[in-house]
Structure 1
Amino acid sequence: MIQAAPPDTLPTLKKRAEFLAVAKGGRMPRRAFVLQAADVPGPPRIGYTVTKKVGNAVERNRIRRRLRAAVRAASDAARTDLDYVLIGRRGALSQDFSELTGDIRAGLQRASTAPSAGPRHGKRGARSKPTPVPKKQG
C-alpha cells in the first residue's frame, strides 16, 4: 500500500534523471547541506540525498530524516517554479533544529538556477603542464 505524502510537504523526486536535471542548476552550500535548484515546469518538488562518504547507513538515514522534518517546517517558502535537491552533510546532525530550518527556509527563498562559477568536477589540485625550458645553444 502506497502512503500519500502529508499535505504540508513538497512532492519528492524519485528518478535519477530528475536529480541529474536539478544538478545542472545553481548550488547553495551551507554547513548542514548543499541546496541545488533548477527551473523545471510543474509544481515544486524536492529530493534528498546523502553520499556514502558521510558515515554509516544509520547516520545517513538520521540526516535524511532531519532534513525532511526541517523542509516540512519550511515548505511554505519554496518557490513554485523550481525543483530542489538537498545533499546532506554531517553538520545536519549537530546543528540546532531551528537554525537548520532557518537555513532551509532562506535557501528555498533565495535559490538561484544559475550554475555556479567554475568546474564542479575534475581532479583536485590538478596542475597544468609545465612550460618547456628552451635548451641553451653553444
Structure 2
Amino acid sequence: MDRLKRRSEFRAVGRGRRISRPGFVLQALRATETGREPRFGFTVTKKIGNAVVRNRIRRRLREVVRLSAAGGASESTDYVLIGRRAALRLPFDRLVDDLSSGMAALSQNEAAGGGSGA
C-alpha cells in the first residue's frame, strides 16, 4: 500500500470527490498518470481527542485499508480517510464494509460524471 505523506497531496485529494460514513469521511481524486497503484492517506483532527485516541483511530483505519482496499481501490487514484470518533466503537467488520461501499459509490459517481458525492 502506497501512502500519501505530503500536505500538498492531502490538500489536492481534498478538492476531489468525498463520501461520508459513520467512522470516517472518504475522499478520492483520480490522478492524471495511469497505471499507478492507489495511494492512501490517513488523518484525524485534534478535536477528536488526544494523541492516543487519534493514533488508535489511525491504526484501525490503516488495517481496514490493508484488509479490504486491494479489491475495491481504483488504480491511479489517491484516497484520504478522515477518521471520526465513531471509528473506535464501530465493529471492525462494519468499517471494512463501509470502506468497500464508499469506494464503490465513489467509482459509480465518477463513472456517472458526478461531482463531490457528499
- Per the normalisation by structure 2, the TM-score is 0.85
d(CA) in 2 for partners of 1:73 and 1:102?
Answer: 11
Residue 45 of structure 2 corresponds to which residue in structure 1?
51
d(CA) in 1 for partners of 2:117 and 2:20?
Answer: 13
Q: Does 1:99 align with 2:91?
A: no
TM superposition shift of 1:117: 7.6
Structure in which a larger fraction of residues adopt helix: 2
Which string of whole-angstrom CA distances, capped at 9 and with x for unpartnered residues, describes residues 74-120 of structure 1?
A: 022111131100000000000000011110112123224554289xx
Residue 82 of structure 1 corresponds to which residue in structure 2?
77
The answer to whether the 8 A contact 2:41-2:79 is kept is: yes
SS in 1 for 2:2: coil
The answer to whether the 8 A contact 2:17-2:117 is kept is: no
Distance 1:88 1:117, change over 3 A: closer
Question: Whose Rg is larger?
Answer: 1
The answer to whether the 8 A contact 1:44-1:83 is kept is: yes
SS in 2 for 1:64: helix
Query: What number of residue pairs does the alignment pair up?
Result: 109
Q: Which runs of 5+ in 2 are unaligned?
A: none
The answer to whether the 8 A contact 2:43-2:82 is kept is: yes
SS in 1 for 2:18: strand
Structure 1 runs (4+) deviating above 2 angstroms are 112-118
Q: Does 1:12 align with 2:3?
A: yes
Structure in which a larger fraction of residues adopt strand: 2
d(CA) in 2 for partners of 1:109 and 1:116?
Answer: 14
d(CA) in 1 for partners of 2:87 and 2:57?
Answer: 6
The answer to whether the 8 A contact 1:32-1:91 is kept is: yes
Counterpart of 1:39 (choices 22, 30, 35) is 30
Counterpart of 1:68 (choices 33, 44, 62) is 62
Residue 104 of structure 2 corresponds to which residue in structure 1?
109
Q: Which has the higher contact order (CA 8 A, sep 6+)?
A: 2
Counterpart of 1:27 (choices 3, 9, 18) is 18
User: Identity across aligned pairs (percent)?
Assistant: 50
